[in-house]
Amino acid sequence: MTTQIELGDITVDVVLKDIKNIHLSVYPPNGRVKISAPLRMDMDTIRVFAISRLGWIKQQRKKFREQARETPREYLDLESHYVWGKRYLLKVIEVCEAPSVELKHNKMILRVRPGTADEKKQAVVDAWYREQLKKAIPPLIAKWEPLMDVKVERFFVQRMKTKWGSCNHKARNIRLNTELAKKPPECLEYIIIHEMTHLLEPTHNSRFIALMDRFMSKWQFYRDRLNQLPVSHENWIY
């Protein structure tokens, strides 16, 4: 069941679900607010909860609206692209061979067939980013599983519009945003630890925070750094 409540000029989507606890989320890019609440909870209680978090909601919405955005990529020579936090200048080379991406010095070399459309160029680059992430993730999971005493059954890499990652704690799977291949490596490690911590604690409660403090003492620094970096023009924060 889905309904809405109004808090001044802020509309809050309320979804009643078969869950035990109430959850509040604010989504980029425009600060859409959503509350997931147990089926048994009445709307007056939900409204009081929302009002109690109004300051935090406004803070998050302000942060999203001020966050830097990348301009749309056009896949032209000398266009800036980022890999693991480092800036590369694009060089497009037309060749009669299979498309590829290569980093050489400060350049990202994109080889495509003559007449390749921008949409295809984007698909080639996106696939390359996905592969970089797939290579980087397994060693980090292997590093942290024994330290956290958890087991990740599977991980998935995909384009996500509103999150850096997600966790299905019942299936013991984690999902990671392909955009993380553009960010500094320590930001990827932070997100992996964050999602793996959800295998121990599904919510963002005080226990979750205590676990994050134990596993990665500077996690809030990396979270803030990640959320201060420019995000994809069509996107969004964590």
Average pLDDT of the chain, as a whole number: 89
All structural domains of the chain? 2-66 (no CATH), 80-228 (3.30.2010.10)
Region 205-228 average pLDDT: 90
Number of H helices, E strands in the chain: 6, 11
Say what the pTM is: 0.72
- The predicted pLDDT at position 67 comes to 61
Q: Predicted confidence band at 226 (pLDDT cuts at 50, 70, 90)?
A: confident
Q: Answer yes or no: are the C-beta atoms of 4 and 14 closer than 8 Å.
A: yes
- The predicted pLDDT at position 119 comes to 92
Residue 158: Cβ within 10 Å count: 11
Out of 1-5, 45-49, 119-123, 176-180, least confident range: 1-5
- The predicted pLDDT at position 74 comes to 82
